């Protein structure tokens, strides 16, 4: 994290992030529309004077991450869904990131508890000088002790100013990476735990989250209009396609414009990630400030 960001700003954004996450959690109920939950949760941040660090993720069951509702989305939560809620506040480039899992059916208590235990065990060893692989070892051990597996190709990350995934990568297993944490560094630790046979994720063909890369020449008017709006409003943080509704005159034109921007590398995609085999995924996440002899959890 840049030196210009003091601990007070980090704590402030972290506190609002967990408040917004809990607000969203209370909205996740069987029969509730995902779009309604997303709009209310994101609106909660706006009403309190904050932006979104990224579109709220509401990933269900086999979905591990990056599902956010589309325009007019009529998808609702089922009675037995396992829902990952991943959310964070933003203010002046300072970003929050935290997540939890809601077990609507009550049949996956052990899986959810394993993710939460893995997060707690990982946090317990965080301090300046600790290697990222040591953190991953804690996560893997907690998962296996509970009879589950960590997702091997997902993990935590550094958090910078206007940069949600900066610096170090925090694995969910001991990957032998001897990179060590530094005092003053901000990281997000996020164990993904699964009961699936294959403990990896793959990209799906669903994508509603994108991020601006750089300006460029495009042919279609709708693509140009979208680029102008993206630069004006979402130049740094990821955005949802639904946030651009009304920029062009039809949903077809909106998605056609998105495709053209993507083909010209003006935006990059963050597709929904799903477990590589049948099974469920639980997630827990906290944002942490690394200190000399320990750490401070910013999202609590």
Torsion of CA 43, 210, 66, 94, to 10 degrees: -60
What is the rounded average pLDDT of the residues 223-245? Answer: 97
Which residue in 157, 185, 208, 237 is the catalytic one?
Answer: 157
| CATH code that applies to domain 7-204+277-297 | 3.90.230.10
Which residue in 42, 63, 81, 97 is the catalytic one?
Answer: 97
Specify whether 97 is catalytic.
Answer: yes
Contacts with 6 (C-beta within 8 Å, 6 or more apart), sequence order: none
Architecture of 209-269 per CATH? Answer: Orthogonal Bundle (1.10)
Specify whether 178 is catalytic.
Answer: no
Bridge-based pairing state of the strands 239-240 and 267-269: unpaired
User: Residue 184 pLDDT more than 50?
Assistant: yes
Specify whether 270 is catalytic.
Answer: no
| Per-residue burial over 68-96, b = 16 or more CB atoms within 10 Å of its CB, e = otherwise | bbbbebeeebeeebbbbbbbbbbbebbbb
pTM of the model: 0.95
Q: Model confidence over 130-178: pLDDT tens digits?
A: 999 999 999 999 999 999 999 999 999 999 999 999 989 999 999 999 9
Specify whether 190 is catalytic.
Answer: yes
Which residue in 165, 174, 177, 291 is the catalytic one?
Answer: 165
Spatial distance between the Cα atoms of 13 and 89, rounded to a whole number of angstroms = 6
DSSP state of 56: P
Q: Model confidence over 195-221: pLDDT tens digits?
A: 999 999 999 999 999 999 999 999 999
User: Residue 4 pLDDT more than 60?
Assistant: no
Specify whether 63 is catalytic.
Answer: no
Domain spans, the chain: 7-204+277-297, 209-269
pLDDT at 5: 74
Which residue in 42, 63, 81, 86 is the catalytic one?
Answer: 86
Q: Tell me how far apart the 2 most distant CA atoms of the chain are, in Å.
A: 56
Spatial distance between the Cα atoms of 157 and 204, rounded to a whole number of angstroms = 22
Which residue in 42, 190, 260, 287 is the catalytic one?
Answer: 190
User: Residue 1 pLDDT more than 50?
Assistant: no
Specify whether 165 is catalytic.
Answer: yes
What is the rounded average pLDDT of the residues 266-283? Answer: 97
pLDDT at 2: 43
Which residue in 103, 185, 208, 285 is the catalytic one?
Answer: 285
What's the whole-number average pLDDT of the chain? Answer: 96
């Amino acid at each position: 994290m840049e030196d210009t960001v003091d601990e007070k700003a980090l704590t402030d954004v972290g506190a609002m992030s967990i408040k917004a996450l809990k607000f969203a959690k209370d909205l996740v109920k069987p029969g509730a529309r995902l779009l309604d939950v997303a709009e209310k949760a994101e609106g909660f941040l706006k009403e309190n004077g904050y932006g979104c660090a990224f579109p709220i993720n509401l990933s269900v069951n086999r979905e591990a991450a990056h599902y956010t509702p589309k325009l007019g989305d009529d998808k609702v939560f089922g009675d037995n869904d396992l829902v990952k809620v991943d959310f964070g506040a933003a203010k002046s480039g300072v970003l929050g990131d935290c997540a939890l899992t809601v077990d609507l059916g009550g049949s996956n208590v052990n899986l959810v508890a394993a993710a939460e235990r893995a997060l707690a065990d990982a946090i317990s060893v965080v301090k300046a000088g600790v290697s990222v692989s040591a953190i991953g070892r804690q996560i893997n051990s907690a998962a296996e002790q509970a009879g589950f597996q960590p997702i091997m190709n997902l993990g935590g990350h550094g958090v910078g100013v206007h940069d949600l995934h900066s610096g170090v990568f925090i694995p969910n297993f001991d990957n032998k990476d001897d990179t060590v944490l530094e005092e003053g560094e901000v990281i997000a630790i996020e164990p993904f735990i699964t009961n699936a046979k294959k403990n990896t994720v793959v990209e799906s063909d669903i994508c509603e989250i994108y991020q601006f890369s750089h300006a460029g020449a495009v042919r279609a008017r709708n693509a140009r209009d979208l680029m102008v709006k993206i630069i004006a409003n979402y130049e740094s943080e990821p955005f949802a396609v639904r946030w651009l509704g009304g920029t062009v005159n039809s949903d077809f034109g909106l998605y056609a414009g998105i495709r053209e921007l993507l083909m010209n590398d003006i935006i990059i995609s963050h597709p929904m990630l799903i477990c590589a085999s049948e099974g469920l995924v639980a997630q827990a996440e906290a944002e942490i400030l690394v200190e000399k002899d320990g750490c401070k959890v910013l999202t609590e």
